[in-house]
């Protein structure tokens, strides 16, 4: 995708004329002519560029994830294959799917890629009220930002990236409880990403047994500090999808994206 095209589409002039492209003048087709051949029309690059700009402005997908698409996700091991299949089934059945997804695993394995890919596939067909949100970037106190949290609660499909990251303060726990309860009661679909998550360690009852157990991930620690009712609703509203593998940033240090 041409950065120049994206930049030109995001200028004030382009925003005023909405989808008018400097290449195709808003027709969606670029006229090209090779030497000695008749001219022909091909889909203009602005079609994809316009979609990316709208995903940034209307859905909140950061520019960092412009290239995250389902077809570009590489299935390097069986768990990545199963995770991609789960995302594809969700897209195929949306909005009839009965529960959301919770992609869990270490950093750099493609959890956010899959979550963004779901938004990208659904957006052209049902883009009226989709939202992407980085959990770390959300305001901590619900009463101080009612509009922000109400928009997230009302979104038809919400992606919460890196859920539970950061300190588990009382304000953050209150905010999570408000959001999850609101979406659970309204039967809204939610896709989350987070660190490694073990069902028994996270949602099990009673204290953890002492011994040589693995330390809790930031996601497990945060969820365990939620009140029991909120934990129950989170477990019921999302299917946990483990995503395991090597950190692509270590496997391919010279590339900016594996997927």
* Alpha-carbon gap, residue 88 to 105, rounded angstroms: 19
The three-class DSSP label of residue 43 is strand
pLDDT at 23 over 60: yes
Q: What confidence score (pLDDT) does residue 64 get?
A: 85
pLDDT digit string, tens, across residues 199-248: 887 887 555 555 546 788 999 999 999 999 999 999 999 999 999 977 66
pLDDT digit string, tens, across residues 100-137: 999 999 998 999 999 999 998 888 776 578 999 999 88
**CB neighbourhood size of 91 (10 A):** 17
Q: What confidence score (pLDDT) does residue 68 get?
A: 86
pLDDT at 141 over 60: no
Higher pLDDT, 46 or 130: 130
Location of structure tokens 């939202």? 131
* Alpha-carbon gap, residue 132 to 49, rounded angstroms: 18
Q: What confidence score (pLDDT) does residue 235 get?
A: 93
Q: What confidence score (pLDDT) does residue 93 get?
A: 92
Higher pLDDT, 193 or 56: 193
Say which residues have a Cβ less than 8 Å from residue 100's Cβ, sequence separation at least 6.
189, 190, 191, 192, 237, 238, 239
Q: What confidence score (pLDDT) does residue 41 get?
A: 76
Least confident of 73-77, 107-111, 142-146: 142-146
Closest CA to 203 of 176, 162, 238, 165: 238
Helices (H), the chain: 3-9, 12-16, 46-54, 78-93, 111-126, 146-154, 170-185, 199-203, 218-224, 228-237, 248-251
Q: What confidence score (pLDDT) does residue 2 get?
A: 44
Q: What confidence score (pLDDT) does residue 185 get?
A: 95
pLDDT band at 16 (very low <50, low <70, confident <90, very high): very low
Contact call for residues 195 and 175 (beta carbons, < 8 A)? no
Location of structure tokens 């859905």? 59
Q: Which domains does the chain have, with CATH numbers?
A: 3-50 (no CATH), 63-251 (3.40.50.300)
Location of structure tokens 């997804």? 101
* Alpha-carbon gap, residue 113 to 110, rounded angstroms: 5
Looking at every residue in the chain, the average pLDDT score rounds to 79
254 CB-side CA count, 13 A: 0
Going by DSSP bridges, is the β-strand pair 100-104/40-43 parallel, antiparallel, or unpaired?
A: unpaired
pLDDT at 249 over 80: no
* Alpha-carbon gap, residue 127 to 164, rounded angstroms: 26
pLDDT at 87 over 80: yes
* Alpha-carbon gap, residue 107 to 119, rounded angstroms: 20
pTM of the model: 0.76
């Amino acid at each position: 995708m041409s950065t120049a095209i994206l930049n030109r589409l995001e200028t004030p002039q382009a925003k005023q004329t909405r989808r008018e492209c400097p290449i195709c003048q808003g027709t969606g087709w670029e006229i090209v002519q090779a030497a000695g051949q008749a001219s022909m029309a091909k889909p203009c690059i602005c079609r994809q560029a316009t979609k990316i700009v709208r995903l940034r402005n209307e859905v909140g997908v950061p520019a960092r994830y412009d290239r995250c698409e389902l077809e570009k996700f590489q299935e390097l091991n069986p768990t990545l294959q199963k995770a991609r299949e789960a995302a594809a089934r969700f897209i195929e059945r949306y909005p009839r799917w009965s529960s959301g997804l919770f992609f869990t695993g270490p950093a750099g394995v493609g959890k956010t890629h899959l979550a963004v890919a779901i938004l990208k596939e659904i957006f052209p067909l049902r883009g009226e009220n989709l939202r992407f949100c980085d959990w770390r970037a959300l305001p901590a106190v619900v009463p101080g930002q009612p509009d922000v949290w109400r928009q997230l609660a009302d979104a038809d499909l919400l992606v919460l990236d890196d859920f539970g990251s950061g300190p588990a303060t009382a304000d953050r726990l209150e905010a999570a409880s408000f959001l999850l309860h609101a979406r659970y009661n309204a039967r809204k679909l939610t896709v989350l990403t987070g660190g490694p998550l073990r069902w028994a360690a996270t949602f099990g009852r009673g204290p953890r047994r002492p011994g040589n157990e693995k330390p809790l991930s930031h996601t497990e620690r945060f969820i365990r500090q939620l009140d029991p009712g909120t934990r129950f609703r989170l477990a019921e509203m999302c299917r946990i999808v483990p995503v395991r593998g090597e950190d692509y940033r270590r496997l391919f240090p010279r590339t900016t994206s594996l997927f």
